Amino acid sequence: MARIGTSDLDVYPLCLGGNVFGWTSDEQQSFAVLDAYAAAGGNFIDTADVYSAWAEGNSGGESEAVIGRWLARRGRRDDLVIATKVGQLPTAKGLSAANIKVAVEGSLHRLGTDHIDLYYAHIDDSTVPLAETLGAFTELVKEGKVRHLAASNYDTDRLAEALEISKRENLAGYVALQPEYNLVEREGYEGKLAALVAIEGLSAVPYWGLAKGFLTGKYRPGVTVDSPRAAGAGAYLDDRGLRVLAVLDELAAAHRTSVASVALAWLGAQPTVVAPIASARTVEQLDDLLGAATLELAEDEIQRLTEAGAR
Ligand SMILES: NC(=O)c1ccc[n+]([C@@H]2O[C@H](COP(=O)([O-])OP(=O)(O)OC[C@H]3O[C@@H](n4cnc5c(N)ncnc54)[C@H](OP(=O)(O)O)[C@@H]3O)[C@@H](O)[C@H]2O)c1
């Protein structure tokens, strides 16, 4: 288990991504994935109110509702760290105080719980003063509806400003950042943003840990993959992507594990990262990811991957 920033949340070093539940994974498969993740010792589940509004026939809230029904069936809630997000649901967009007040009730209702462990601002809403957003979040913490706050998709300047406002105005502050970050998407996080996260004592919980599936190794020249993610993931299949896959293949063979586990272990080994997020549509896919939680790569192995993924 690893501690998130200055919070009291201890999490399994692999966070289970929830956008598949009610989208590419039906309820039965979703429950099986959640059961298998918890049975392996996993306790950190990531979702958002908007998941998966983009899918045909869905309007958002499907993922939270699946997780809520699973929690009810499981009958135990307190050994889990449930993270969800506000700001992107088409019917509750943005981070105004009024919206946050309404949106949190929707999330709590769908999850069937009286508290959210980690509540993220899903996006940076520049139309609302940060003090208003943080004030509304602080109310939720005081009411016990939310335990800790986090930000997703904030840039360095805005995250610094938000942290400064929390300190100055005595408001609850973000304890984690959820950025896009993986072996083939590095520039957005490494550098200034990672340095700020480190200096301020936050943790990073990177999303798209598998680069939408590319880092599982199933995208290869001449192979067609049937997934709504195929266009995005397949775009990484260039010279650099092939270099990364070659090193991943070699290290996966050496450690007798999967390509996906090596890619996630690299991410988990980066400074500031507490737990990469990855999703699995099936229990078989999950099995391939769980090795990341215990795999320790040697310094030179990490370095080889870092160099292969450099632009
Ligand atoms: N904060 C944000 O703005 C934001 C944005 C995006 C995502 N997220 C979070 O991050 C999580 C992870 O992102 P993601 O799920 O979109 O992408 P990802 O974790 O990079 O990729 C996961 C996908 O790869 C494929 N896969 C996983 N294991 C596999 C295996 N063993 N073999 C073959 N294929 C495998 C599956 O898709 P297919 O079977 O369809 O190929 C799976 O859904 C999300 O669930 C969500 O919680 C947050």
Residue located nearest, by CA, to atom 30 of ligand 1: 285
Answer whether 117's CB lies under 8 Å from 148's CB.
yes
Model pLDDT for residues 55-67, shown as the tens digit of each residue: 999 999 999 999 9
Which atom of ligand 1 approaches the CA of 88 most closely?
3
The CA 303 to ligand 1 mean position distance, Å, reads 25
Which atom of ligand 1 approaches the CA of 85 most closely?
1
Model pLDDT for residues 157-194, shown as the tens digit of each residue: 999 999 999 999 999 999 999 999 999 999 999 999 99
The CA 179 to ligand 1 mean position distance, Å, reads 14
Mean pLDDT by groups of 10 residues along the chain of 311 residues: 97 98 98 98 98 96 98 97 98 97 98 98 98 98 98 98 98 98 97 98 98 98 96 97 98 98 98 98 98 98 97 89
How many CA atoms, within 13 angstroms, populate the side-chain half-sphere of residue 229? Answer: 19
Give me the catalytic one of 51, 119, 207, 236: 51
Phi first, then psi: give them for residue 135, nearest 5 degrees.
Answer: -65, -45
State the residue for tokens 């462990």. 117
| pLDDT of amino acid 290 | 98
Q: Is 234 in the pocket of ligand 1 (CB under 6 A)?
A: no
Q: Is 152 in the pocket of ligand 1 (CB under 6 A)?
A: yes
Which atom of ligand 1 approaches the CA of 211 most closely?
20
Q: Is 260 in the pocket of ligand 1 (CB under 6 A)?
A: yes
H or E segment at 120? Answer: strand 116-121
- Give which of 139, 141, 10, 174 is closest to 78, Cα–Cα: 10
Which atom of ligand 1 approaches the CA of 227 most closely?
40
| pLDDT of amino acid 60 | 97
Q: Is 24 in the pocket of ligand 1 (CB under 6 A)?
A: yes
Residue located nearest, by CA, to atom 4 of ligand 1: 207
Rg (CA), the chain: 19
DSSP secondary structure string for all residues of 131-184: HHHHHHHHHHHHHTSEEEEEEES--HHHHHHHHHHHHHTT---EEEEE-B-BTT
Q: Is 229 in the pocket of ligand 1 (CB under 6 A)?
A: yes
Residue located nearest, by CA, to atom 26 of ligand 1: 213
51 is catalytic: yes
Model pLDDT for residues 33-84, shown as the tens digit of each residue: 999 999 999 999 999 999 999 999 999 999 999 999 999 999 999 999 999 9
| pLDDT of amino acid 236 | 98
Q: Which two three-digit tokens encode residue 218?
A: 């199933």
| pLDDT of amino acid 185 | 98
- Helix 299-308, helix 239-254: angle, nearest 10: 160
DSSP strand pairing (81-86 vs 116-121)? parallel
**Average pLDDT of every residue of the chain:** 98
Q: What's the rounded Cα separation, in Å, for the pair 166 and 217? A: 42
The CA 126 to ligand 1 mean position distance, Å, reads 27
Answer whether 293's CB lies under 8 Å from 14's CB.
yes
